[in-house]
Amino acid sequence: MGEDKNKKKKEGALHVNKGVEQPASINEDALRKFRKRRKPRYTLEQYVDGILNGERTMLGQAITLIESSRGEHMEMAQQIIERCLPYAGDSLRIGITGVPGVGKSTFIEALGTKITASGHKLAVLAVDPTSERTGGSILGDKTRMEKLAADPRTFIRPSPSGDSLGGVARKTRETVVLCEAAGFDTVFIETVGVGQSETSVHSMVDFFLLLMLAGAGDELQGIKRGIMEMADAIAITKADGANRDKAEMAQKEYQKALHLFPPPESGWTTRVLTCSALRDEGIEKVWETIHEYIRFVRHNGYFTQNRRQQAKYWMYETINQILKDHFYHTDFIKELLPKFEKQVLEGQKSSFMAARQLLDRYHKK
Ligand SMILES: Nc1nc2c(ncn2[C@@H]2O[C@H](COP(=O)(O)OP(=O)(O)OP(=O)(O)O)[C@@H](O)[C@H]2O)c(=O)[nH]1
Ligand SMILES: [Mg+2]
């Protein structure tokens, strides 16, 4: 997926007219060399000290290294994470998902301002692998999160961009570590409930909140059953004005529907709530429910068990990711791929054979 995107970028940027001599690519090369040489801006000590002091700018700079694809940056990012790990883990990680327009940003603003007003430090991150929205998904709707964006107790960071879902999710997972080391005791991870990203987010949070609309025609609004199964609570949004009754009806329906699902591993009974972020109604209740859940799973041991399982999951995810990245970024593989692809497309080689041969060449390199 990521590879296709890169390819498109290269081919689609400029149209080359036949017969017109193209300028030498000296500038490109010079630029590339300059970029390659650019070292991380600060020393490891400076990054780590800044983060542990809770400096938001330093935190932001370090996250930029996590998101970078330059070797030196990645190396430095890993060292920073390593040094921050002993100070991480001490936050409440909450995943928030829902279809576009369900009211995620408005909800985060309403709940977030309450959380920071009670003295907590909140980090708001996003996992959003669809490039069109990237960069804009969180910061773009600053108007919906006006108070939070200006709140010194909040750190808001849009989704890392230009990568596959696996890459985006892993980077966000690493960003959580730095946020926690910087003293953020509550972390929200927002994702749009339309694809695979919920599963990734679910595997990095302690509590998973699904926001849903009432009476939007289709009963389950294209929200897959699997996503409802993952939710520790469902909140029906926009329960105000004429929508209020509909929201309460939906609440009953979903509560009933949930009975048909297998009981979750945590032993918790999924709650269905209603809220209005605009009117600030029911928001407090959602927060109380989250705490009730945390007390419950801390008591029965699921909290720790779940975090350990997640750590294991991310170990394998990271291995897969690194192996895959390394393979696709190896120069001779990049050269061979189009040739093999062509042979497969033309039926000269089976896909299995092509894959096998490429991997053999890769291992022998
Ligand atoms: N009546 C009412 N409208 C709301 C409420 N919360 C959000 N809205 C409106 O719903 C629209 C979408 O809200 P957002 O918070 O931007 O929704 P979102 O889920 O972040 O949307 P995307 O970022 O596109 O995924 C906006 O016009 C909001 O003003 C609410 O509690 N009541
Ligand atoms: Mg939004």
Does the pLDDT value for residue 17 go beyond 60?
Answer: no
Domains of the chain, with CATH numbers? 27-86 (1.20.5.170), 88-301 (3.40.50.300)
Q: Which of 1, 320, 237, 24 is nearest to 130 (CA)?
A: 1
**Mind listing the pLDDT tens digit for each residue in 43-52?**
999 999 999 9
Q: What's the rounded Cα separation, in Å, for the pair 81 and 72? A: 14
Identify the band that residue 164 occupies on the pLDDT scale cut at 50, 70 and 90: confident
SS (H, E, C) 206-264: CEEEEEECCCCCCCCCCCCHHHHHHCCEEEECCCCCCHHHHHHHHHHHHHHHHHCCCCC
Amino acid identity, position 78 = Q
Could you report the per-residue pLDDT of 133-154, keeping only the tens digit for each? Answer: 544 455 555 667 889 999 999 9
Contact predicate 184/122, CB 8 Å = yes
Kindly state the average pLDDT of the residues 178-183. 97
Per DSSP (E only), the strands in 64-127 are 92-98, 122-127
Pocket mutation for ligand 1, best pick of 96, 97, 99, 105 (most atoms within 8 Å of C-beta): 105
In angstroms, the CA 227 to CA 240 distance is 25
State in Å: Cα 243 to ligand 2 middle: 20
What is the Cα–Cα distance from 149 to 131, expressed in whole angstroms? 22
Burial class (CB within 10 angstroms; exposed 0-12, middle 13-18, buried 19+) of 172: buried
Best substitution site from 143, 144, 211 to test ligand 1's pocket, by max atoms within 8 Å of Cβ?
Answer: 144
Phi/psi of residue 96, each to 5°?
-130, 120
- Residue 8's pLDDT is what? 38
Ligand 1 site, CB within 6 A: 98, 100-106, 141, 144, 192, 237-238, 240, 276-278
Task: Categorize the per-residue pLDDT at 160 as very low, low, confident or very high, splitting at 50, 70 and 90.
Answer: confident
